[in-house]
Chains A and B, each alone.
Chain A
Amino acid sequence: MSDAIADDLPSFRRELNSWLDDNEGELRLGHVGHPTLDEDLAQFTHIKRALFDAGWGRHGWPVAVGGLGGSSMLRAVVGEEIATRDLAEPGMWSMIEVLAPTVIAYGSPALIAEMIPPLLRGDETWCQGFSEPNTGSDLASLSCRATAVEGGWSVSGQKVWTSFAQFAERCVLLTRTGEPGSAHRGITALFVDVDSPGITARPIEIQNGTLEFCEVFFDDVFVPNERILGAVGQGWQVAMDVLPYERSTAFWHRGAYLHHRADQLIATVAGIAGADGAAAVDTGQARLLGEAFQAVMAFRCRSRATQHRLAGGGQLGAETSIDKILIATAEQTLFNAARDVLPGVIEFDDDAEAQRLRWEFLYSRAATIYGGTAEIQRNIVARRLLDLGSE
């Protein structure tokens, strides 16, 4: 990594924070109690627009797509400060950090010049159509079919658990273009307009009560040739490249969100202890908080090295499965601690704070499921990092 970038980060952060301080009032839309998904999306769109217009949201993105250039670490810093101020729902934020770099890497220059700026500006929402009813961990088995037609492709099939599809303007879609048994060789990635005729997105309620993801049906949907990401048959590589992006700036952002929640939880417990007088916190509670924080820090230190490697031009690969396991562990350890140090709050209370904790506790159960399950990550660690050969 060039020292110039690192030297610059503290002042970049300082200036960003003073801008955020100055504009705090306008940056936050109001809502009563725990926000609904619609309110989260409105807030997300609002903050993206404000950051883009002020330039902060353009740092770390290539000039060719409306960015101001510079290291990806600038993006990580922006994400971190936004998370620390609770100015954006972390799942929505990560979608951009994950999908935009992939589309930039595989889309045509004309496509990315047209499509990325509105995304960065918060004018659009995108989604990721990988999973299918019969295709979860074994992504290479996907069957949503794309057939060559005049000038492009006709897509028919179904996706599922597609986060934010009901709000999305575009979808990065994996399709089967090879023979049915062609596994990872016969997959093609398409960049699809979600308002194309033949697409139906039906929201599914998730266990925390929100309608975060959808089942999406494709019935003879036309996608022009210009919308192929990479080449025909290169879809597997596109999908595999999504992962390192997920594990760089998006993870740093999510780690910052967890750090902030740890901060709030500790302040809450310290506040209760202070109000109750001497030594209200028993050692069991202190221990749970300590374990949660050290898990958050293990991820932070690991991810810090990953961010530096990426910004220095390094390739990210299988070793980021360790980052993935560490952040999932941190998230679940933290919310497990919240459940136990604040007995009954998640289970029974109804104020905005309790609703948030309940919502987030339930969501944290997915940390070992999405983006490749905990078991799939361990398979990768065993095969690629420990050289244990095949199963």
Chain B
Amino acid sequence: MIDPDDLALLATSFAAAMSRAPGAAEADDALHDLGWGELLAHAPLQGAAAAFSALGVTGSAACLLDDVAANALGLPVSASACVVLPAPSFSRQPAERRGQSIHIDGLVSARIDRSDRAMVAVSDGSVVEVDAALLRTTDVIALDPQRPFRRLRVDVCERDVVVLARAGSWDTVILRARAAVAHQLVAASRVMLDQATQHAVDRVQFGRPIASFQAVRHRLADALVAIEGASAVTEMCAEDECDPLMATMARSLAGAAARTTAASAQQVLAGIGFTTDHPFHLSLKRTMVLDTLFGSARTLPTEIGNALLAIGGAPRLIEL
């Protein structure tokens, strides 16, 4: 268990390194130089809390989710480790066997450009290694201009893959990835709220700051409440142990908070926020992309409800 103050320091130094790095690849390298890989091995949930909060604060496109997934699967972690992620808003393994081929339907991070091979989890529980060249997609235009993740739909031949020995389970990947993305979404939501709050104070209409209008104030207050609720649950996913249901709720609430905050911030920023002169659009697009990872604010409540129905009740999950 890492001391909370040390964890905050780590997040700060991660964020500083990300801000200095000119691109995603350089940010990846910088984080690995700072010992991110060892941290992940030593304290996976806490390490992810620090690194993914930093991702959210800086808007960096560093591909750290590959590391989280590789580590959870018990596979080697490095700045060139590439793990194929589930299809948008899904969380099951991205591949399945179909006769002599393996059908992959998922997302792949920008790491694919600098890796020789990628790791792909298959629905039968195995993990295979594929030549990265087979998974490199031609450049397509997508929502997020930095394209941290790309859509991947491809079939590879059984004889072109190597089955890997691995120690971890896909369930662990889901839990850790959800917690990590929740931290990033919460931090990114705070960035949007800060932008809108600052604008509300600075922008004058009808002879007074728009922050004095209650319609504006309440929208921003609702965003803060959504963020703090999500944050409180997400914080519980940086402890030693984390129930899978808790990570699912953190991810779900963080996605919902990002949606609420983006809508409020967009409305308060109005015209200026609609331009690419203002950075808001970057957060809007990034949080939309993040909310497709390992479920979405739309799909996860149903998953939570079904999990509760299977249990037949509502567990407390944490005590005082």
Complex partner residue of B228 from A304, A322, A382, CB under 8 angstroms: A322
Q: Mark B278-310, 1 if CB is under 8 A from A, else 0.
A: 000000000000000000000011111110111
Whether A322 contacts B225 in the complex (CB less than 8 A), given A283-B302, A379-B214, comes out as yes
Residues 359-391 (chain A) with a chain B CB within 8 angstroms: 375, 377-379, 381-383, 385-391
Q: Which of B40-48, B74-82, B155-163, B231-239 contacts A (4 or more CB under 8 A)?
A: B231-239
Q: Does A309 contact B (CB under 8 A)?
A: no
Query: Whole-angstrom distance between the alpha carbons of A275 and B306 in the complex?
Result: 16
Whether A266 contacts B312 in the complex (CB less than 8 A), given A294-B252, A301-B236, A381-B224, comes out as yes
Q: Does B222 contact A (CB under 8 A)?
A: yes
Collect the chain B residues with CB atoms within 8 Å of residue A375's CB.
218
Q: Does B230 contact A (CB under 8 A)?
A: yes
Residues 1-17 (chain A) with a chain B CB within 8 angstroms: 9-10, 13
Min CB distance B125 to A, Å, is 25
Query: Whole-angstrom distance between the alpha carbons of A283 and B302 in the complex?
Result: 6
A326 engages B229 (CB within 8 Å): yes
Collect the chain B residues with CB atoms within 8 Å of residue A291's CB.
301, 305
A293 engages B304 (CB within 8 Å): yes
Interface residues on B, range: 35 or more
Q: By CB atoms of chain A within 10 A, which of B211, B306, B309 has the most?
A: B309
Whether A304 contacts B230 in the complex (CB less than 8 A), given A281-B309, A382-B221, comes out as no
What number of A-B contacts does a CB cutoff of 8 Å give? 156
Collect the chain A residues with CB atoms within 8 Å of residue B305's CB.
281, 285-291, 293
The interface on chain A, measured as residues whose beta carbon lies within 8 A of the other chain's beta carbons, has a size of 58
Q: Does A262 contact B (CB under 8 A)?
A: yes
Min CB distance B224 to A, Å, is 6
B225 engages A9 (CB within 8 Å): no
Q: Does A299 contact B (CB under 8 A)?
A: yes
> Residue on B with the closest CB to A281?
B309
A293 engages B308 (CB within 8 Å): yes
Q: Does A305 contact B (CB under 8 A)?
A: yes
Q: Does A85 contact B (CB under 8 A)?
A: no
Collect the chain B residues with CB atoms within 8 Å of residue A299's CB.
229
Query: Whole-angstrom distance between the alpha carbons of A291 and B226 in the complex?
Result: 13
B301 engages A287 (CB within 8 Å): yes
Min CB distance A49 to B, Å, is 25
Q: Does A51 contact B (CB under 8 A)?
A: no
Complex partner residue of A326 from B225, B235, B317, B320, CB under 8 angstroms: B225
Collect the chain B residues with CB atoms within 8 Å of residue A347's CB.
none
Q: Mark A314-357, 1 if CB is under 8 A from B, else 0.
A: 00000000100110010000000000000000000000000000
Q: Does A73 contact B (CB under 8 A)?
A: yes
Complex partner residue of A73 from B200, B301, B310, B320, CB under 8 angstroms: B320
> Residue on A with the closest CB to B312?
A270
B309 engages A382 (CB within 8 Å): no
Q: Mark A124-164, 1 if CB is under 8 A from B, else 0.
A: 00000000000000000000000000000000000000000
B229 engages A298 (CB within 8 Å): yes
Q: Mark A58-72, 1 if CB is under 8 A from B, else 0.
A: 000000000000000
Q: Does A273 contact B (CB under 8 A)?
A: yes
Whether A267 contacts B218 in the complex (CB less than 8 A), given A77-B320, A322-B224, comes out as no
